[in-house]
Structure 1
Amino acid sequence: MFIHLRRLRRLLNRVALGLLLLLGVLAAGTVGYHLIEGWAWGEAAYVTLLIISTLGFGRLAPATPAGQLLTSALIISGVGTLFYLLSNVAETFIETSLGLTKVRRMEREIAKLRDHYIICGLGRVGRRAAQELSAQDKCFVTIDADEATVAEARDRGWPAIQGDATHDDILKTAGIERASGLLVTTASDATNVFITLAARIYNEHIVIVARANEDGSEPKLEKAGANKVIAPEAIGGQRMVGLVLRPGATEVIDTLLHADDQDNWLEQTTVSSDSDLRGQSLGAARLEDRTGVRVIAIRRADGTLVTNPQGDELIQERDILVCVGARDQFSELVALAQPNHPTNSLAKA
């Protein structure tokens, strides 16, 4: 578990309490010996310190019953207080050191990431997005300003950065220049616009999907640089209507997109400039025979969508092939569509 600020504050409060108790015991012993035994203030404080540290009395020892009773009380309270203080100091040091070590290790791991995804905001939408990426074994980094939320994400094994995602240094720490996708999911449209603007400045090729919480925010987010804008309420309403009007079709789509069924999966890959598929027709490419994957749609570079493509449909550079098949078959398709890109996210599935 990563140590976080709330836990650190609790430990420091315990250390402060231990110090106050120790000073209280020292003051009580000093005053007590001065009044009971008649020792000088310096001698009384010195003997009290020796007793608390379990080193004995030195040349002075209490001669009266009251002084002996005070000594017994100091041994019990002083040693207990000293043990409480030292144990909390040690716990603070150990947990802080381990926590900082883990944070530094996480930052080094993030610095190595390429073509990963970044999630800004770990509310309900952001957590769900992180769960989906984790389930599909994708590399991603999360950002949130709340320390408890970040600690929970780290406990789940998600790389998490605490901070304001509108700040350039936070986005850079998450590897915005190297990321392939950004999900902006905070509950504030103004924050989402700032994050989108900053991300687009640092990475003009990144795919940005932003959340719109209010009517009228969609065009602002698109102007800021978002490729797609999602309104969770609208998506929820559309899905509810789909389940009422077309339950069978909706369930099939949900199964292909979100289920853990390894034999039925909907994915996509892009045809690169060095692919032998360029210029071939679907029929001549024989993708289903060679990989087991069936192409059900093609998204052209100009945005044109070809659904249910026939055998004479030509495959072009930068085409996005939307396919159905078993998850383990997609790596074979990627090898054909992007032969020189072994780190493509599909190859990890």
Structure 2
Amino acid sequence: MDTTASPKVTVIIPVWNGGDFIGNAIASVLAQTLGDFELIVVDDASTDNTVDVVGAIHDQDARVTVLHQPERMGVSAARNRGLDMARGAFVAVLDADDVWLPQRLAIMVDVLEQHGVDLVADQQTLVEFGTGRTLGLTMRDAWMQGGADIPLSDFVLMDWPGRKDTRNIGLIKAVMRRSTIERAGVRYDETVHLGEDFLFYACLLVSGARMRFVSTPLYAYSVRTHSLSQLTTPTTGQIEVNRLLREWLCAHGRQRADYARVRMILDYREKALWLQYLLWSLQTRHFLLALRTLPRIGIDVCFLWVMDFVRRKLHLVQSDFNPAIIGKIERRMPLCRPP
């Protein structure tokens, strides 16, 4: 790798046993109309031919570099290794089984430079792994419009549990200013195996980063069809991510003007996650698990959810747990005091 000049963008691809598809991801980066980048592939101790595939590409293009993990440590550790080695003014992360449209880097970097923001995320096309069949878009269109900064509170509400009008906001792959990441001291949490992207972006926003969305789908997100339900099924891992974000907020965001509101949202988001977990437990007939979950939710959330459920049934509104319930909670209960 040329060490005399820093590239504009560092692209990081973590991979484990991706020999059959890593070539497509790399090819989509090399085809970018913005060519001033370095590509760091972090091999997470693959046991297949991944290293050979990437090595052959490196022989043809010196912008491609391979870093080897001594043992399998997970995607977050691999991304952190890439961040530690990054030299670009901007950082972009690409999953090994996903691809970019050729103009993606140029468009995203232009937004970063034109508006002075720290993170830019784009709409995504969900693509069936293996067949390339289009399955739809990741985000609701209304969220991607307007060209305004996304407040931290809105970002968290976009990932409100039980929503059926969108996928998990954590699926997005932002292009970011490396100086902002370093100044905030944020890294991917290596103990988290689901929701690490959401936690990473939210911690940056807590630390004062500015974020915008681009409405054009420039990222093709590969999905195994059998795992589609996992994008919406509640897990205790999501609850742990919520707890970690609340801890980061308390440690680094107490001076924020919206601290009390964001803290309140996170508190009720945790209860809403437990509520979804309760409903899942009942649907799957794990009744003992459901019984153990009840105390974590609280009678206030249960009451408001039941009222919201009845209202929706009476009006035949096809939606799920409504984020507008936050407004009801704010009006009815004195929960805005910091702990």
TM bucket normalised to smaller: under 0.3
Q: Which has the larger radius of gyration?
A: 1
Q: Which has the higher contact order (CA 8 A, sep 6+)?
A: 2
TM-score (structure 1 length as normaliser)? 0.24
